[in-house]
Chain A
Amino acid sequence: MTESVLRFESVRKGFGEHLVLHDVELAVPAHSVTALIGASGSGKSTLMRCANLLEEIDDGAIFLDGEEITDPRADQDTIRRRIGVVFQAYNLFPHMTVLDNITLAPRRVHGVGRAEAEAGARELLDRLGLADKAGEYPDRLSGGQQQRVAIVRALATGPRLLLLDEITAALDPELVGEVLAVVRGLKEQGMTMVLCTHEMGFAREVADQVCFLDAGVVLEQGPPEQVFGDPQQERTRQFLSRVVAAGRLPR
């Protein structure tokens, strides 16, 4: 297999006494989708934030395309440019129109001209069925529309890797579908993605690799058929049965 796009090497991270990530090993091959599952507080979001350098790790290393990004000498800004992030709470900029939200990074970080950036943004918006929303302010859109705009914003810089952090957790069931459809489309185009989610059915369908985290430890890792169909660990079985009981994973 070729060099992974993203690779965690015995990553350790704690907040005070509390250890959140415990020697995490993870490799994300190019054009693959990795789903992180696990209970709240298992370290999924922290893992994501570490990958985007929003948190500093205590030990170990994280590599992006073979280059160590946790090296304190590395330029954080140039690394972040290669990673797109979509947040649970969208985090759109409320004082800017949809179009300005999307073109901010291309224009200010990548030095693309206004006309070119806007043309690119409109094309992406059009693909996601948001063409008529370009001039709106984020707070006037529905949750699903806002999250799709956030995805467009993350894509607009042409990232090497997309991190999706519980992107449907704040949406009602009707709107979850439209956002997940976008992720499916991105997978077809060969985008490398890491997503953490509570939508187990979706994780099973879209992921090439599923990673079960429990108390900061990667307890189980493998193709979705294996993790969901034949879990090796007792904790994984417990977690999945609870998820089924909650109606999050169709049998």
Chain B
Amino acid sequence: MSAEVGTPTAESRRRGGGAAEPYRPSDRRLAREAYRRQRARRSALIAALSTAATALVLYLVVVNSPGWQRTRETFFNAHYAWQALPEVLKGLRVNLELMVCCGVLILVFGLLLAVLRTLRGPVFLPVRLLATVYVDFFLGLPMIICLLIMITGVPALRLTGVTTDPLLLGGAALVLTYSAYVSEVFRAGIQSVHPSQRAAARSLGLSNAQAMRYVVLPQAVRRVVPPLLNNLVSLQKDTGLVSIGGVIDAVYAAKIITSQTFNYTPYLVSALVFLVLTIPMTRFTDWTTARLNRRQHQGGTV
């Protein structure tokens, strides 16, 4: 550390004391800022070098692997990529529709389950019990088994008036399972709101339901937006599982082409298409959460 940084010069002290003169940064401040800039440049340089080195090592390992030539042919073939893209995109529509429709239903149903579990009073015991059993059951049931039961089991019952469409039944299975997950997220959010908030609401004369509606839920929902987004991304991937019922979504469309050509590039295309959707979604949520925090709280970096 240099000497100028520690001790202010006589000149800078005089400047700081004079009220009439416009503010001019002291030498101490300038030295401090120069030092910080230097550190920042150094950090950026180290980050760039280490990233480049890591990328180089990864590249060399992959390229020098014994099967690289064949792998490149089967996974990174531009011809097959172009051939697969329109089919994959057509299939993606199914994934998107499923994700949006199921997503809305899951949010509503999950929130409802979470709120039902917080109800007090003897009248609500059966409701509370049912909601708890439901969540326990579907949290433990593997997704794929739930899908199989819905897609193959329900049509086998031959009920009149009940659909046999694998898309609808698969969507229903997604809603059933994911509502259990999402309700746990909401419940965690509700429990994270400090009891003093409820006490304040009740002391103002709000009923239990009003305290929930106006004070607890708005804070709870805001806190669980990031974990909910995780669930949404994971739901988007799991919409691909509906293809086990024969629905042609993006993954299944890729599979069809692959089975005809014995080239795996279409799978990579469908993976990329999913990524293109989820990454902006994650960034968007980060941005909205940050904006909300800025509005409600004092600034500060910690």
List chain A positions with a Cβ less than 8 A from chain B. Answer: 52, 54, 77-78, 80-81, 83-85, 87, 89, 91-95, 104-105, 108-110, 137, 139-140, 153-154, 157
Kindly state whether residue B215 has any CB partner on chain A within 8 Å.
yes
**Is there a chain A Cβ closer than 8 Å to B259's Cβ?**
no
Chain A CB within 10 Å, residue with most, of B204, B205, B206, B297: B204
Smallest CB gap from A91: residue in B: B200
A81: B residues at CB distance < 8 A = 204-205
A140-B218 contact, Cβ under 8 Å, with A54-B202, A93-B197, A105-B204:
no
A172 vs chain B, min Cβ distance (A): 16
Establish whether residues A140 and B297, one from each chain, have CB atoms under 8 Å apart when the complex forms. Answer: yes
Bound together, the chains give a CA A116 to CA B218 distance in angstroms of 24
A95–B216 Cα distance when bound, in Å, is: 10
Secondary structure class of chain B's binding surface, majority of residues:
helix
- State the B residues within 8 Å of A (CB): 196-197, 199-207, 210, 214-215, 218-219, 222, 295-298
Report the nearest A residue to B196, measured CB to CB: A91
Residue of A nearest to B221 (CB): A95
Cα-based distance from A153 to B204 in the complex (angstroms): 8
Q: Can you list 13 A-B contacts (CB < 8 A)?
A: A85-B203, A89-B196, A91-B200, A93-B197, A93-B201, A93-B219, A104-B215, A108-B210, A109-B204, A109-B205, A109-B206, A154-B204, A157-B204
Contact across chains for B296 and A109 when beta carbons are under 8 A apart? no
B201: which A residues are within 8 A, CB to CB? 93, 104
Cα(A104)–Cα(B197), bound, Å: 13
* With known contacts A108-B214, A157-B205, A93–B296 Cβ distance under 8 A: no
Is the Cβ of A95 less than 8 Å from the Cβ of B207? Answer: no
Query: Complex: how many Å from CA A213 to CA B295?
Result: 43
Distance A78 CA – B205 CA, assembled complex (angstroms): 7
User: Which chain A residues lie closer than 8 Å to B200 at the CB level?
Assistant: 85, 87, 91-93
Point out the residues of chain B lying under 8 angstroms from A104, CB to CB: 201, 204, 206, 214-215
Residues of chain B within 8 A of A137, CB atoms compared: 295-297
How many A-B residue pairs have C-beta atoms within 8 angstroms? Tell me: 68
Residue on A nearest B222 in the bound complex, by CB: A95
Cross-interface CB contact of A139 among B197, B202, B206, B297, cutoff 8 Å: B297
Identify the closest chain B residue to A94 (Cβ).
B296
Q: Give the 7 A-B CB pairs with smallest separation, nearest first.
A: A81-B205, A91-B200, A105-B204, A85-B203, A109-B205, A80-B205, A137-B296
Give min CB distance, A149 to chain B, whole Å: 12
CA distance A94 to B293 in the complex (A): 11
Contacts of B207 in A (CB 8 A): 77
When chains A and B are docked, how far (Å) is the Cα of A110 from the Cα of B214? 15
Q: How far is the CB of A64 from chain B (nearest CB, A)?
A: 13
Query: Least Cβ distance of A40 to chain B in Å?
Result: 18
B204 to chain A: which residues have CB within 8 Å? 80-81, 85, 104-105, 109, 153-154, 157
Chain B residue at smallest Cβ distance from A109 = B205
Residue from the list A83, A95, A108 in contact with B296, Cβ < 8 A? A95
Instruction: Enumerate chain A residues within 8 angstroms of B298, measured Cβ to Cβ.
Output: 139-140
Q: Which residues of B lie under 8 Å from residue A52 when comparing CB positions?
A: 203
Q: Other CB < 8 Å A-B pairs besides A87-B200, A104-B201, A105-B205, 17 of them?
A: A54-B202, A77-B207, A81-B204, A81-B205, A83-B203, A91-B196, A91-B199, A94-B296, A95-B296, A104-B204, A108-B214, A109-B204, A137-B296, A139-B297, A139-B298, A153-B204, A154-B204
Which residues on the B side are within 8 Å of A154 (C-beta)? 204
Contact B205 A91 (CB under 8 A): no
When C-beta atoms are compared, the residue in chain B nearest to A153 turns out to be B204
Docked CA distance A52–B206 (Å)? 13
Nearest B residue to A141 by beta-carbon distance?
A: B298
- Interchain CB contact under 8 A, B218 and A95: yes
The residues of A that contact B206 with a CB separation of less than 8 Å are 77, 104-105, 108-109
Which chain B positions have C-beta within 8 A of A157? 204-205
The CA-CA distance from A84 to B204 in the complex, in Å, is 7
Give Cα A105 to B215, complex, Å. Answer: 11
Chain A minimum-CB-distance residue to B200: A91
Q: CA of A206 to CA of B237 in the docked complex: distance in angstroms?
A: 66
Contacts of A78 in B (CB 8 A): 205
Q: Which residues of A contact B196 (CB under 8 A)?
A: 87, 89, 91
Are A77 and B214 in contact, with the CB atoms below 8 A?
A: no
Which of A54, A77, A108 makes the CB contact (< 8 A) with B199? A54
Measured CB to CB, the nearest residue on chain A to B220 is A95
State A52–B203 Cα separation when bound (angstroms): 7
Give the nearest-CB partner of B297 in chain A.
Answer: A139
Cβ contact within 8 Å between B214 and A91:
no
When chains A and B are docked, how far (Å) is the Cα of A154 from the Cα of B199?
A: 13
List A contacts of B295 (CB < 8 A). Answer: 137
Contact A95 B210 (CB under 8 A): no
**B residues near A139, Cβ cutoff 8 Å:** 296-298
Taken together as a complex, chains A and B put the C-alpha atoms of A109 and B210 apart, in Å, by 9
A95 to B297 Cα, complex, angstroms: 10
